[in-house]
Chain A
Amino acid sequence: MTETDMADKTGKIELTEEELIHRASQVDETSLEDLDTEPMYVNVGPTHPATHGAFRVFCKLDGERIERAAVEIGYLHRGFEKIVEIKHYTQVIPYTDRLNYCSGLSNNVGYCKAVERMLGVAITPRTEIIRVIICEIQRIMDHMICVGANLVDIGALTNFWYFFNAREKMNNLLEALTGARLTYSYVRIGGLAWDLPEGYEERIKATMKEIPKAIKDVTGLVKRNRIFIDRTKDIGVIGPEEAVNYGFTGPCLRASGVQHDLRKKRPYYHYDEFGFDVPVGENGDTYDRIMVRVEEMWQSLRIVEQALKMLPGGPINIDDKNIMLPPKDDVHNSMEALINHFKLVIEGIKPPPGEIYDASETPNGELGFYIISDGGSHPYRIKCRPPCFYTMNTLKRLIEGHMVADIVAVLGGLNVIAGELDR
């Protein structure tokens, strides 16, 4: 139908949307051929506005599109693996806190789990459930920081405040228990530092009641938002086989469609007795990674509720003189306890010689500890397997072909925590 026909019928020219787009895309081809473009080299980082720690991406740009990229990390390398070789096993616990500092207790639990397996001890039922509760609370907090920071980088600032408010409430909860705000160091080898205070279970229940509102607020703002979907759908896509080949674990792997969760596959601490689902994505793009994390927050709330019902009474520390410090009353009154305390503080725990690799499902993925012991008080070698080291490995492959503005969107979805990446 030509323009004149349409004008005859209605008296004014009306074009359909397709025709409008077709018109707009008609450019003069010859003028573009003469356009001499040179590639531009741009450095993103090591200090940059995205809120994700220090790393550097060196890009070769053709206009706005990234042709090639090179990623450099190591700007927070603190020598964790060297300095733990001169510390005792218990003194390593604060260092593990600072690995994934958004969920410090999960790292503590992962490390203590590995050492307890080496020592061959089984912790008490009450400690197992308390560790599950604090790990799941930390999972919610970690996902809040990750999704909040990701949304801020895309431009949705309000969600950051909603999530941080909710996170402050949970932080107050954990501060009442452990005494610290970010780097808790509450877990000990063989148990916990101290028991839950009185009335704490009610406090957990009350705080957990306030979390769903924050998650609902944020989901309502972004889930069907045109801009959010445009900026995250089909950005940074990775398929299931490739994701496994690159070493992905955790929410990023589940977003690519692989059903793999260590809590279900190799359950520890009664995880097989809780009823919870593991959300799995379809496309493996940034949208899926964000949505998988939001869904995991709901599942963690379910686990905390069930765990509180299951919480047994009883002691929290195992009854082993070579591992646990004796109670302070005995130390002040009895000679054997005093000598025991002295030996444990000066010499520390001595696991039998050998090596072990133990992994736990932290909010970011599979955090593994490969520990070699020579029978002495200092670990001979501790190698930490950080989940985001392997997801960061793929950043180069994920952003090539996209635009510069997509770097921050992809990076936020991968949840790169520099403390864990560089150790």
Chain B
Amino acid sequence: MTAHETGVITTRVDEVIRWGRKNSLWPLPFGTACCAIEFMGVVSSVFDVSRFGAELVRFSPRQSDMMIVAGTINYKMGPVLRRIYEQMADPKWVISMGACASSGGFYDNYATIQGIDQIIPVDVFIPGCPPRPEAILDAVLKLQAKIDRTPTK
């Protein structure tokens, strides 16, 4: 960016846009397996995720901006995941929840993709099998921090 583009007004506008985006992340739970049950637990009232703005769980890719891949992705599901990711509108982020989505988990065999970052770009990886709800909330906070330090285009 040249000197006059990084003026005071545009950085303020930038900050406001980032503040708005990070505090209203609408998740698309791409849940296939056990991690989806833990995600349901996070959305429920005990570990409330709506305190962080991610309350409205939207199952349509056109209406969400954060995809949480919860569960094992196998080779049959791979093309579906890729297509759903491509249907999401920019700006979009991906959280890979659990060991199976991050690296294939302990299913190192013919059926499972060894990590979804082989087909889509991932922003936050959450380890655990399944990760604790507090870990998922921590991941949402880390994603918010990442959005904060990434300049909008």
Contact = CB atoms under 8 A, between A and B. Distances in A.
Task: Classify A-B as touching or not with yes or no (CB < 8 A).
Answer: yes
A53 B30 CA distance: 9
A47 B84 contact: yes
Contacts, number: 87
A76 B130 contact: no
Size class of the A contact interface (CB-based, 8 Å): 20 to 34
Interface of A: 46-49, 51, 53-54, 74-79, 82-83, 94-95, 98, 101-102, 145, 160-161, 164-165, 168, 171, 181-183, 418-419
Contacts of B77: 46, 54, 75-76
Interface stretch (B14-22, B109-117, B138-146): B109-117
B46 interface: yes
A181 B130 contact: yes
Interface string B74-91: 101100100010000000
B33 A53 contact: yes
A101 B34 contact: yes
A79 B111 contact: yes
Contacts of B40: 51, 164
Contacts of A160: 44
B34 A183 contact: yes
A168 B37 CA distance: 12
A181 B107 contact: no
Nearest to A145: B37
Contacts of A83: 107-109
Q: Can you list the 6 inter-chain pairs with the closest CB atoms, starting with the nearest?
A: A101-B34, A79-B111, A49-B59, A79-B109, A164-B44, A78-B107
Contact of B33 (A74, A171, A419): A419
A182 B34 contact: yes
A53 B44 contact: no
Interface of B: 30-34, 36-38, 40-41, 44-46, 59, 71-72, 74, 76-77, 80, 84, 106-112, 129-130, 132
Contact of A182 (B37, B72, B80, B109): B37
A53 B106 CA distance: 20
B44 to A, nearest CB: 4
B46 A418 contact: no
A398 B93 CA distance: 39
B111 A77 contact: yes
B59 A48 contact: yes
A164 B80 contact: no
B79 to A, nearest CB: 10
Nearest to B83: A47
A386 B106 CA distance: 21
Contacts of B45: 161, 164-165
A78 B111 contact: yes
Nearest to B28: A47
B33 A82 contact: no
A164 B129 CA distance: 20
Contact of A76 (B32, B41, B46, B109): B32
Contacts of B34: 98, 101, 182-183, 419
Contacts of A145: 37
Given A77-B74, A161-B45, 10 more contacts: A51-B31, A54-B77, A75-B32, A76-B33, A83-B107, A101-B34, A160-B44, A164-B46, A181-B130, A182-B130
Nearest to B78: A75
B97 to A, nearest CB: 13
B32 A54 contact: yes
A330 B111 CA distance: 42
Contacts of A102: 37
Contacts of A48: 59
